[in-house]
Amino acid sequence: MDWTTGRVVGKRVWAPGLFTLAVAAPQVEPFEPGQFLQLGLEQPNGHLHRPYSVASPHGDVLEFFVVVVDEGRLSPLLWRMEPGDSIDVSIRAAGSFTLQKCPDARTLWLIATGTGLAPYIAILRRPDVWRRYPHVILVHGVRHDSELAYHEEIAAYSEKHGSQFVFLPTISRQQVAGALFGRITTCLQEGSLETIAQAKIDDHACVMMCGNPDMLRDLEEQLCQRGLRRHSSRQPGHLVLERYW
């Protein structure tokens, strides 16, 4: 893999252990919103690197939205980084979790748990999504409301795009006014997700889902029972997935 040395130019802490690093890495080659890069650090026992979705479109400064995994190896080191620090960034992005790999649809559902929000922030910042999909619904599943990162930016999309955009925060461990209570899959099963969204996840939908593998598995199972299936260029469908672990 080819690497460039990036420089941390900003850090925003959303909640303990949940943060965005802004990294200046102008040598990274152009990529599509939704793709991921590798972040790496040289360690005594070798080069330690992991994939991270880029939470911003291509540009000289790239954002990464990260959560610390307590027993993890790289994420606690990223958490300790501060502006001015250097970090290795892969030059070429990878992945097919992009709008180019999604089918046309009446409604685009962007469903995330935790830092699975990252690729959607990159996608929402570009005009393509707003031109292509009549309705865009963002569902962000977290445990506590303090983990609802990027909330001001998301509120600005609601303001700007009116009824084209719906944001559904879904909080599993806390009852909060204006948010759904429970897991995303439970809210779907009980009907509250679609009632509040005023939209159905049906044959006219494209559903992107990103984050926790248990959520992806359960949600895919629920949606397959409705007759929806994964999308591919050879077999058009509705579901496009990105697993984080």
Q: Which residues contact 167 (CB under 8 A, 6 or more apart)?
A: 137, 138, 140, 154, 155, 157, 158
Q: For the chain, first and last CA: distance in Å?
A: 21
Quote the tokens at residue 230: 């994964």
DSSP-assigned letters across all residues of 52-64: EE-SS-SSSEEEE
Cβ distance to ligand FAD smaller for residue 114 or 182:
114
66, 72, 78, 79 alpha-carbon torsion, rounded to 10°: 80
Closest separation between CB of residue 200 and ligand FAD, Å?
A: 29
Instruction: For ligand FAD, give the closer residue by CB, 38 or 107.
Output: 38
Cβ distance to ligand FAD smaller for residue 67 or 223? 67
Nearest to ligand FAD of 95, 237 (CB atom): 95
DSSP string, 166-229: EEEEEESSS--TTSEES-HHHHHHHTHHHHHHT---STTEEEEEEE-HHHHHHHHHHHHHTT--
In whole angstroms, the minimum distance from the beta carbon of 56 to ligand FAD comes to 11
The residue at minimum Cβ distance from ligand FAD is 72
Q: Tell the smallest beta-carbon distance from residue 202 to ligand FAD (Å).
A: 28
129 vs 101: CA distance, rounded Å: 13
CA torsion through residues 159, 179, 148, 34, sign? negative
Question: H-helix or E-strand containing 65?
Answer: strand 61-67
CB closer to ligand FAD out of 73 and 200: 73
Identify the DSSP state of 15: E
Least distance in angstroms from the C-beta of 95 to ligand FAD: 6
Q: How far is the CB of 139 from ligand FAD (least distance, A)?
A: 17
Closest distance between ligand FAD and the C-beta of residue 1, in Å? 14
When the beta carbons of 20 and 185 are compared against ligand FAD, the nearer one is 20
**Shortest gap between Cβ of 68 and ligand FAD (angstroms)?**
7
Binding stretches for ligand FAD (CB under 6 A): 36, 50-53, 65-67, 69, 71-75, 95, 114-115, 118, 242, 244-245
Q: How far is CA 63 from CA 11, 20, 68, 171, in A?
A: 9, 6, 16, 24
Give the residue with the Cβ less far from ligand FAD, 149 or 166: 149
